[in-house]
Structure 1
């Protein structure tokens, strides 16, 4: 808090100091914030006394605690205008700061099933991430609040979040990812903690794009899997019977492109790789297998990692696996099967490459 800097005014009588507000959002107590700001202010010889700093900060902290009741309500935009006469840039800034999420905190919460009632020990999350317990709790509560507000809404998850919570696109995309993970019940155990939040977001975005309902109407939601599509995947059992044809086409396509090491491994272990992929595809219509999607994807990746495939060669293989399957006769003549296969492989490929 620089006493000489311009603050963000939100009414004739109240103002938001950006520095104090950020300390409050991060979960610092008033005493901790006073220590941080007083050291900075006094070292700059601004002429401000310690008593003035303490009084000003405690006044701001009290106002922000009152403001929090408004921010945590999905219908907050009108309330902010009525109670504080906030200009649009200030309202957006306040919302962005309050709803900001730390990737490290989210990764720890994912290991604890994100919105589970069992998430009670925020001290453990705080210790692992270097964030305060209050900050971890705020993020948990915000995720749960957004989830509860949009989970039963039809239409776009992203647009619903932006409309209800007035968040800008990038932050709303993060929440859309978390809502989809919760709604679809994906298991996110600690062994997946190596994934960055950006990897989770890329995976969720392509799943929403390819595997959920896109029609409008009260019974169609981006938060729910397209059951008819998932059931159609069971027809790809035919590729198990046609493994040799599929392998031949892939090998012809990849022999001039893959490294010699990876091509030799593909020739030897194609049965293992295709078996893992097709087993995943034909089992996805079962709800429990959907929940295990990311665990199964990690297992598929382990096969390639154990044989030291490069991510570049893995990308080439997935491209060939996709394209050569639709050249197999039984799929080639069926437009619906080709479309279904494309939707499956788009998710598989982008998820595996994001998780590698």
Structure 2
């Protein structure tokens, strides 16, 4: 009885970037061989299909054995089974944890539970991402969330420390963790135009200015939970709309600053009180968990859509929000400037990021 064996002998582990991508994308060995062959690898190396299949299968086997180490990236540097240079380790880790924005957008704000994982078949069909890849990326989201949700210290730094990711990728994971913790509503039809990066930008603003860690770097869960005292203090902003004299004075100051500077001045003047009431009402309701979760849908329905209907340009909107915020400082009986600036700084940034088709 004869047997044929393919044997690969070496010291440094050879890892092909192209094959790694195919493996990460959820290809089977046969599909990966077909894709490599169509890419011209047989002609480049004057190889047979049998050799290509054997090489692909060996690479896939190596990646599968490395995968348990990639779940805890710090172990990759300390193991002796695979001789992988540090710079290659960094590439393997970064690419393993890189995710598709389309998938992240579908999962953003949802609980990272078994129930959500069961729905990945539908997500795969909707996004065109292979189910195997969807599951890997979902497991990565959940793994990072579980590792850092209770840790003390800055969220991005904790993610970088435990998973050895680049600053950019760690910040994107921080947004996913933040949304999964706060469960913001992102699935409504009116919010579907927003991309993952739109919402990740907003998450970074909230983390930087509204969380406990924004004011106290020694608190636990500092970058995950919104500061309750700040949210409670936002109720004090209601004076801007309940005091008629203050509301009229605020409108007068904004109109004086914007006259001749924006194309939609007449529309702004006519809708000023409604827009101001919308922004202040959103602030005053943030003491309730449900209203925190509805923050983005409220911004779209109560502020962005009215501005869209009046055909405000982004430039007009930026000028309005800038002067709307700064002129409040000139209101004699308004005593909550610090809270106002902290609130409007984030709201302005988020609105400008979300104001597009």
Q: Does TM-score exceed 0.5, indicating one fold?
A: yes
Partner of 1:305: 308
Partner of 1:328: 331
CA gap of 1:136–1:89, structure 2 versus 1, over 3 A, is same
State the alpha-carbon separation in 1 of the partners of residues 333 and 142 from structure 2: 46
Query: Secondary structure in 2 aligned to 1:202?
Result: helix
Gaps spanning 5+ residues in structure 1: where?
1-10
Match of 1:266 among 265, 268, 286: 268
State the alpha-carbon separation in 1 of the partners of residues 199 and 44 from structure 2: 47
Partner of 2:239: 238
Q: Is the 8 A contact 1:157 1:222 kept in 2?
A: yes
Matches within 5 A, 1:1-356: 12=11, 14-41=13-40, 44=43, 46-73=45-72, 75-79=74-78, 81-110=79-108, 113=110, 115-119=112-116, 120-191=118-189, 192-214=191-213, 215-219=216-220, 221-240=222-241, 241=243, 242-259=246-263, 262-299=264-301, 300-331=303-334, 334=335, 337-356=336-355
Query: Secondary structure in 2 aligned to 1:340?
Result: helix
State the alpha-carbon separation in 2 of the partners of residues 243 and 149 from structure 1: 47
Q: TM-score, normalised by structure 1?
A: 0.90
How many correspondences in the alignment?
338
Offset, 1:176: 1.0
Offset, 1:213: 1.3
State the alpha-carbon separation in 2 of the partners of residues 97 and 74 from structure 1: 12
Q: Is the 8 A contact 1:27 1:132 kept in 2?
A: yes
State the alpha-carbon separation in 1 of the partners of residues 114 and 305 from structure 2: 32
Q: C-alpha offsets along residues 107-129 of structure 1, whole Å, 9 cap, x if unaligned?
A: 22237x26243321323222222
State the alpha-carbon separation in 1 of the partners of residues 223 and 41 from structure 2: 53
Q: Is the 8 A contact 1:34 1:54 kept in 2?
A: yes
CA gap of 1:220–1:150, structure 2 versus 1, over 3 A, is closer
State the alpha-carbon separation in 1 of the partners of residues 41 and 236 from structure 2: 72
CA gap of 1:85–1:18, structure 2 versus 1, over 3 A, is same
Q: Is the 8 A contact 2:26 2:132 kept in 1?
A: yes
Gaps spanning 5+ residues in structure 2: where?
1-9
State the alpha-carbon separation in 1 of the partners of residues 316 and 217 from structure 2: 39
Q: Is the 8 A contact 2:77 2:89 kept in 1?
A: no
